[in-house]
Structure 1
Amino acid sequence: MIKSIAVVGSVNLDLTAYLDRWPEKGETIKTRETKIGIGGKGVNQCCAAAKLGGAVTMIGAIGDDEFGRGCVKTLEEIGVQTAIIVKNDHSTGMAFIDVGPESDNIIRIAAGANGALDTSDIASRSEPIEKAGYLLLQNEVPVEASVAAAKTAHAVGTISIMDPAPAPTPAWGRDVLAAFDILTPNGGEAGAILDRNVRTLEDAAKAAKDLAHLCRVGAIVTMGNLGVAWHLQGCAGEMECPKVDAIDTVGAGDCFNGSFAFALCDGVSYEKAIRFASHAASLSTTRQGAVSSLPSLDEVREFMEKSG
């Protein structure tokens, strides 16, 4: 039986503006284009796996408002099962995203209901975690909720995958990191945790090895267009990123994580799952948006064949 995926994390409404250039301080400029859609790292991860054909349940919090209800409706239309908590005293989370002329971005987040997700919410929505093969986590909800979810997963053998993004401030201690099975930071986040610079693929390989000693199973460090390095249960390696003409990198890391979990559910090795996820994430950067950019299984397979 194919394993399912549970995601505990953020549910946002994304407001994205595409800019021909970055404004100077105090300057008002026109955007080239704007888009509105669902987002949040949790939503992005679960939609990445669902669009590939995975069985996914989203656990998160929204406000009692039209934005939140719209997010849930869209998730269900994509094929995601939802176990959402409504926080009456909070609004649904929002992300304000500016994408520059070179596909770089600046993101400002209003946490809203995401910041109110707590351990009691995890306890009330534990069934999807206990039935899943893999649990995806990120750092856009309180870490106490993420740790509670990881411990619930560990108790029944569900593998937790934590993307510590945004980078935790202050940095998490060993007690927090030890709750998770697999860590998947990017170079900046790995550097924040280890208190050093991670700028090259060689740096990433060393960081993955050191991070592997802080969690249960191991670590993957993604480096954008440079590639990815990993150290997982004695399996270590580096891989260059497939070459693409990127136009929007928003959500690429989330696509990587959702695709990685999807591939693991199919029973492939860590290295093959990383290769699959790297291709999916690269492909997502050739399209605008976060959820709207996520590829299908056929698209990823075709891209992998062309890439060789």
Structure 2
Amino acid sequence: MTRVLVAGVAVLDFVFQMKDMPRTAEKYRADGASIVGGGNAANAAVAIARLGGDARLAARLGDDAVAGLILEGLQAEGVNTDAVQRFADRRSSFSSIYVDAAGERQIMNFRDMSITMDADWLVNMDHSGIGATLADTRWPQGAAAAMDAARAHGVPGIMDAEAPVREAIEGIERASHVAFSAQGATDFTGKEDAEEAALAASKMLDGMVLVTDGPNGTIRIEAGEAIWTPCPAVDVVDTLGAGDVWHGAFALQLAEGIAVDAAIRFANSAASLKCSRPGGRDGAPSRGETLAFMEEQR
């Protein structure tokens, strides 16, 4: 299996399904609920494992019951958690998430900001055998260390550029590929239009710039030109974790030596499949499911 190192945040999500988002301060009853692992990096690592890759996660957790549930869920998915560090007397991150009937979500997250941002253990770990490295913006020092390691070993270094992007500017500037969400691209450039934001970002960064724009597809900038790759149409049930699945699938494909255009098509298909299923990252597809779905779209 191709190994991908993923650095960033791991969370526990308490997910509630309902017809409409809450708008007033009162008690609500959910139509459905689940407790699932979450977090950009952790979700991407699970996606990589389900797609047939060897995912290794580097993350920071507290020394609490939430950490135990996070690790148990990751290990059950086959994610290597040897590079996850737990810190005494600290609390792990968790979120309350509302998902409405249209599949859109609202997230309230807690992070213990007293957990050190230090990334020394990530710098000093053995990076041999890693085919690509993916990092999110939630752990800036980890992102910078991960991108430096990718450069040093001559492998793709991909940044999942979610807002607030500039908190992780060192990692963004050192990445070989910067894959923004539409919101992240706007946050970075100040431009509302996804294509304009992608073009502006490409003039500011040395790495290849990509922007995922939901059902509109994915933009990549090559030789100063914006190239769109459409997303397959699906009946949207739940968008939670779709971007993380996209990043995991894209990173795995690059690690396998797949060309960028084909890697985007694969990632678009994996993310679209996830959107057609409920349960956050529980809806991440397998490789066989993704390839079969792509064949159906031909």
Shorter-normalised TM range: over 0.9
Aligned to 2:237: 247
Aligned to 1:178: 173
Taking structure 1 as the reference length, what is the TM-score of the superposition?
A: 0.90
Q: Quote the offset at 1:213 in angstroms.
A: 3.4
Q: Within the alignment, does 1:149 sit opposite 2:146 as a pair?
A: yes
Q: Give percent identity, aligned residues only.
A: 27
Work out which of the residue numbers 238, 248, 253 in structure 2 matches 1:258.
248
C-alpha separation in 2, matches of 1:208 and 1:25: 37
C-alpha separation in 2, matches of 1:286 and 1:176: 32
Question: For the aligned residues, what is the CA RMSD?
Answer: 2.1
C-alpha separation in 2, matches of 1:166 and 1:35: 26
Aligned to 2:161: 164
Aligned to 1:119: 119
Q: Could you tell me whether the CA contact under 8 Å between 2:218 and 2:230 is conserved in 1?
A: yes
Q: Within the alignment, does 1:55 sit opposite 2:74 as a pair?
A: no
SS in structure 2 at match of 1:147? helix
Deviations 1:227-286 (A, max 9, x none): 111025778510221100011000000000001112222322100000000000000011
Q: Structure 1: which 5+ residue stretches go unaligned?
A: none
C-alpha separation in 2, matches of 1:37 and 1:21: 21
Counterparts in 2 of 1:87 and 1:152: CA distance versus 1, 3 Å: same
Runs of 4+ in 1 over 4 A off after TM superposition: 172-176, 232-236
Q: Quote the offset at 1:177 in angstroms.
A: 3.0
Q: Structure 2: which 5+ residue stretches go unaligned?
A: none
Aligned to 1:97: 97
Taking structure 2 as the reference length, what is the TM-score of the superposition?
A: 0.92
Aligned to 1:43: 42
Q: Within the alignment, does 1:306 sit opposite 2:292 as a pair?
A: no
- State the one-letter code of the partner of 2:135: L
Aligned to 1:140: 138
Q: Quote the offset at 1:158 in angstroms.
A: 2.6
- State the one-letter code of the partner of 2:183: G
Work out which of the residue numbers 272, 275, 291 in structure 1 matches 2:281.
291
C-alpha separation in 2, matches of 1:147 and 1:292: 29
Q: Could you tell me whether the CA contact under 8 Å between 1:217 and 1:232 is conserved in 2?
A: no
C-alpha separation in 2, matches of 1:235 and 1:130: 35
Which is worse superposed, 80-89 or 272-281?
Answer: 80-89
Q: Could you tell me whether the CA contact under 8 Å between 2:158 and 2:179 is conserved in 1?
A: yes
- State the one-letter code of the partner of 2:15: T
- State the one-letter code of the partner of 1:92: S
- State the one-letter code of the partner of 1:219: V
Q: Could you tell me whether the CA contact under 8 Å between 1:63 and 1:113 is conserved in 2?
A: no
C-alpha separation in 2, matches of 1:173 and 1:4: 24
Counterparts in 2 of 1:241 and 1:119: CA distance versus 1, 3 Å: same
C-alpha separation in 1, matches of 2:118 and 2:176: 21
